[in-house]
Structure formats: C-alpha cells, structure tokens
Amino acid sequence: MFAYTIKRLLTLIPTLLAASVLVFLFVHLIPGDPASILLGDTATPEEVAALTKELGLDKPLIVQYFYWLIQVVQGDFGRSLFFGAPVLSVIANGAQTSILLALMTMVWIVIFGIPIGVLSASYQGRWVDQLTSGGAMLFASVPTFWLGLYLILIFAVWLGWLPSSGFPAIDGVGALGHLRYLLLPSLTLAAPNAALIIRLVRASMLDVSREDHVRTARAKGLHPSRVAIKHIFRNALIAVAAAFGFTFAALVSEAVVTETVFSLPGIGQLVVQSILRRDYPVIQGVILVIVVLYAVVNLLVDLAYARLDPRVSLQ
C-alpha cells in the first residue's frame, strides 16, 4: 500500500508541472499588472514601470517562470505582491477556512444524505421515495448564493440566531465557538451536494439490491434492515465513496460563491481577490495547492476503494 502511495505521488509531479505551466501562462496573459494596482489611480507610467522593475516583473516570462519554479521546488512559494507576506502563510490562512467549511459540509451530507438515500432506496416507488428524491432534486436545482442570501436574511438579520458573515480564526480550543460562523455557509453548500449524494446512494443501492448475493442474504432469513445495511449499503458504499472524494475536493475549491456571500476568508475568495489584484505568486501558489489537494483526494479515494472492495488490488 505504501509503495502504491509513493508511486501515485510520483505521477503527481508531471501533472503539477503541466498545471504550473498552464497557470503561469494564463495568469501572465491576463491584461493588467500588479504594479499599477498597487500604486493606484494617480501613478504615472514611469512610476509603474519603476515598481514593475523592482518587483522583477519586467523580465521575460520564461525567466520569471524558471526563477519561480526553482524557488517552488525548494518549498519557497515566494511572497505575495499584495500582502508582502509569504504565499504559503497567505494560503494556509485561507486553507483553514476552506477545509473546515468543507468538513462541516461533509458532516451535513453524511447526516442528511446517506440516511435519506438509504430510506428512499428501501421504500422505492412509494411516497417516501418520491418525496425524498424529488426534494433532493429540488435542492439540487437551487442557486447556492440565492439560498445563502435568504438564509442570512432569516437566521442572521431577522432571528439573529447565527452570525451573518465572516469567520474569525480558530487559534486554540477556546475559539471552537467560532465554528458557528460556518453553520449557515456549510448548510448552503451542503444542500445541493447532499442532493447529489442522496440520488447516488439511492441509484447504487437499487442496482446492488438486484444482485444475486442479496437474494442469498434474504434466503438466509436475515432481517430486512440487516440485509439493507450489511449487504446492500455496504456494497453501494463503494460507488458512494468515490463520489464523496470528488465532492470534498469540489467543496474546497467550488465554495467560491458561498465564501463570497458569507465573506469567508477561504481559498476560493483568496483566488478571486488575487486575480482581481493580479497577485501572481498567490494565484499560482493556490492553484498548485488545489491541484495537490485534488491528487491527494483522488489517492485517498483509491485507497478507500481498496479497503472497501477486496476485488480491487493496488498494483
């Protein structure tokens, strides 16, 4: 298993290289340059050119790329043009929010998604099934920010039960209370994704329940709920595990909209603002971190596959 992990991580390197070239090209092709944004409205072209030179952005692209690449290989992602702080610390700040948000959203998905999925599969066709899968699909059709806006209005502004936006850093156990800042955002994010998971659990459970070994289980006189959980769901979990992996990865990076509505200092928000500010090192750093995250999540999904399904062997 360990060897397999190493092998997979090694294959990550070409992907990272490709991604880094792609991102570097994209980012430098976008019109607008950091120096003019930094200096603001009244800066004269000479002043902008001077600062560009100081920041080393006037050198040809290729030189800049390799200069940056050599630094990255040594683990130094450079300094943010905007904050002056090291890129990694800027990203780490955002990463904590995004990952906590994604984790909390996954909790909702597991608490709501799986039981409802199993329920609607077990009562296939009856009103329970139609209600839940219909409801799940309805939630999957709601634009995230629209839902977020109304959740803020109702629960934060009118009822005042929960904070409306922002997320103070969690720098110790005492600060766990800050998690309530993520309640509304995680529910907003969970709704559409839970709907996907519900439909997936239902579909894969229905497929599995048609297989012969389930009939064997019934022939053993087992209680229907034991058949549903131990035999049907256990097998359906394999397909569901894959979807969980992708959903988590998507949550961390797709949560841009939710982060904007709730103004959470996450990675998504960081990239949007960095692109508006043309903060090249941060954009490149974040994209690489996200590519690594995707690769790690894919790897975890494959490892989970092997754990869940003995037929899969890790070559």
Beta carbon nearer to another protein, 68 or 104? 104
Q: Which of 55, 88, 128, 304 binds another protein (CB under 8 A)?
A: 55
User: By CB under 8 A, what part of segment 93-132 binds another protein?
Assistant: 93-94, 104, 107, 130
Residues that contact another protein, how many (by CB under 8 A): 134
Helices marked H in the chain = 2-29, 34-39, 45-54, 61-73, 87-108, 114-122, 127-140, 144-151, 183-209, 212-219, 224-226, 234-254, 256-261, 267-277, 280-308
Beta carbon nearer to another protein, 10 or 29? 29
User: By CB under 8 A, what part of segment 214-233 binds another protein?
Assistant: 215-223, 231
Q: Which of 7, 13, 54, 76 binds another protein (CB under 8 A)?
A: 54
Contacts of 100 (CB under 8 A, 6+ apart): 170, 179, 182
> Is residue 188 involved in binding another protein (CB under 8 A)?
no
> Is residue 10 involved in binding another protein (CB under 8 A)?
no
Query: Smallest gap, in angstroms, from Cβ of residue 200 to another protein?
Result: 5
What are the backbone dihedrals phi and psi of residue 56, each rounded to the nearest 5 degrees, phi first? 75, 20
Interface region with another protein, contact rule CB under 8 A, candidates 2-10, 61-69, 70-78, 256-264: 256-264
Query: Smallest gap, in angstroms, from Cβ of residue 120 to another protein?
Result: 13
Q: Which of 88, 110, 162, 241 binds another protein (CB under 8 A)?
A: 162
User: By CB under 8 A, what part of segment 236-255 binds another protein?
Assistant: 238-239, 243, 249-250, 253-254
> Is residue 57 involved in binding another protein (CB under 8 A)?
no
Q: Which of 110, 273, 304, 306 binds another protein (CB under 8 A)?
A: 273
- The 10 Å CB-count burial string (b at 16+, else e) for 50-73 is ebbeeeebeeeeeebbeebeeebe
CA angle 50, 54, 56 (to 5 degrees): 115
HSE at residue 239, side-chain half, CA atoms within 13 A, is 18
